[in-house]
Structure 1
Amino acid sequence: MLTDEKLNFLSQVGKALAGQFGENCEIVIHRIDPNDMNHTIVSIENGQVSSRQLGDGPSQIVLETLKKDPAELHDHINYITHTHDGRVLKSSTLYLKNEKGELEAIFAINYDVSNLIMAENVLHSFIAVETKEDPNEPNFIPQNVNELLDDLIQESVKLVGKPVSLMTKEDKVKSIQFLNSKGAFLVTKSGDKVSQYFNISKYTLYSYIDAKK
């Protein structure tokens, strides 16, 4: 568990980074507590970047960490995420572990580069070259856990490639096991929402989670 002493130190570092790089630089600290994954944000600077605040829930990246062995978690530096209003963020995620190697916190940096990209596009209009799109879609940063769960459900449907009304049992198993792999069921009462969405009972939901792939 992240101690108050460590949190104070990380918050101090976060405040310094946000002050150094200005209002477009968001610093977020998530406390990892498996018993409360609905309110992971314990410190945030410039929360207007992603429209989040103290006490809000995790992003998809944070939620996925609880499904992985902490030993497999390595800092993810300098990658792209998007906000739901279309802004582009340059992000880095640091995984902080205790002396036992257990994950206790995540320190995230999100810098809004939307205006810089616009300026870059103006310059590139003079020296345009062909580029290949990245096949991997960037992660979205949700404003709350309900929005995160909605995003994950839509990803699961996209994975199958057909609406729920046309899904077979095998399709639903595939979608639900995808949700489980992403940590969706760590969100409080997510089972009720997913069951309702896929028009199945809670008992069926759990059987699909445990079904062999």
Structure 2
Amino acid sequence: MLDNTLLTFLKHLAKGIALQFGPNCEVVIHDLSDSYKENSIIAIENGHVTSRKIGDGPSMAVLDALHGDPEKLEDHTSYLTKTKDGRILKSTTIYIRNEERKIIGIFAINYDITDLTMVKNAITPIITVTSPKGEANRIPQNVSDLLMELIEESTRQVGKPVPLMTREDKIKAIKFLNDRGALLITKAGDKISKHFGISKYTLYSYIDSSSD
């Protein structure tokens, strides 16, 4: 049997994890301190997930621990398993070792994600976008915000900060703004001119240049 102190701690931990994550979370403790036995499960929380109970066993992980090279066995976390009736579980297997590195037990977590998987499959088509990936556009609260968003986007279209822009770069940015209707916003000319460091006369000459 596993040491009483260790077993008490593991049972306490198992109960805490099961309470934290709810009835879909099964936590199992296998005792492998003796030779092979068919009743390796000595504690289990939410056993209804896999329809198991104390005295049942072993699992594939138990067989690996009993017959595999203990030095080559590593904890297996966040992998998928299935129940007999086809429900999908997200599982983790932790090997418990003694001072000689011999595997004496297994602490396993099996979380039923079947319903979550169905929700994901239902939601994915809704939240999937077909446009190229990029920064999500902000929703402006007023026309002033809208204008600033358009000005920022015009700068991104050019791909360089305003101080480094050439005349042609600024014409390109202003053409974008004009095409998007930014100049229809009240006092847009003043803000656009200030942003690009040009006069309003130059702004409108750039607009004329871009329409040639």
On whether the aligned pair clears a TM of 0.5, the verdict is yes
In structure 2, the CA distance between the partners of 1:128 and 1:53, relative to structure 1 (3 Å rule), is farther
Corresponding position of 2:7:
7
Q: Aligned partners of 1:2 and 1:58: how far apart in 2?
A: 16
Aligned-residue RMSD, C-alpha: 1.7
Shift of 1:4: 1.8
8 Å contact kept, 1:33–1:40: no
Q: Structure 1: which 5+ runs fail to align?
A: 130-213
Q: Aligned partners of 1:97 and 1:68: how far apart in 2?
A: 14
**Moved segments of 4+, more than 4 Å:** none
Provide the secondary structure at the position in 2 that maps to 1:90.
strand
Corresponding position of 1:105:
105
Provide the secondary structure at the position in 2 that maps to 1:20.
helix
Q: Aligned partners of 1:5 and 1:15: how far apart in 2?
A: 16
8 Å contact kept, 2:33–2:103: no
Q: Aligned partners of 1:39 and 1:11: how far apart in 2?
A: 17
Identity rate of aligned residues, in percent?
Answer: 47
Q: Do structure 1's residue 43 and structure 2's residue 43 form an aligned pair?
A: yes
Q: Aligned partners of 1:60 and 1:94: how far apart in 2?
A: 13
8 Å contact kept, 2:36–2:66: no
Normalising to structure 1: TM-score of the pair? 0.58
Q: Do structure 1's residue 20 and structure 2's residue 20 form an aligned pair?
A: yes
Shift of 1:53: 0.2
Structure of higher RCO (CA pairs closer than 8 Å, 6+ residues apart):
1
Provide the secondary structure at the position in 2 that maps to 1:58.
coil
Corresponding position of 2:75:
75
Rg larger in structure: 2
Q: Aligned partners of 1:64 and 1:9: how far apart in 2?
A: 24
Q: Structure 2: which 5+ runs fail to align?
A: 131-212
Larger mean CA deviation between 25-34 and 85-94 belongs to: 25-34
Q: Aligned partners of 1:68 and 1:105: how far apart in 2?
A: 14
In structure 2, the CA distance between the partners of 1:72 and 1:128, relative to structure 1 (3 Å rule), is farther
Q: What do residues 61-107 of structure 1 show as CA deviations (whole Å, max 9, x unaligned)?
A: 21122111211111111000000111100000000100011110000
Q: What do residues 109-165 of structure 1 show as CA deviations (whole Å, max 9, x unaligned)?
A: 000001100100001233399xxxxxxxxxxxxxxxxxxxxxxxxxxxxxxxxxxxx
Shift of 1:35: 2.9
Counterparts of 1:9-158 in structure 2, within 5 Å, are 9-126=9-126, 127=128
In structure 2, the CA distance between the partners of 1:25 and 1:128, relative to structure 1 (3 Å rule), is farther
In structure 2, the CA distance between the partners of 1:43 and 1:122, relative to structure 1 (3 Å rule), is same
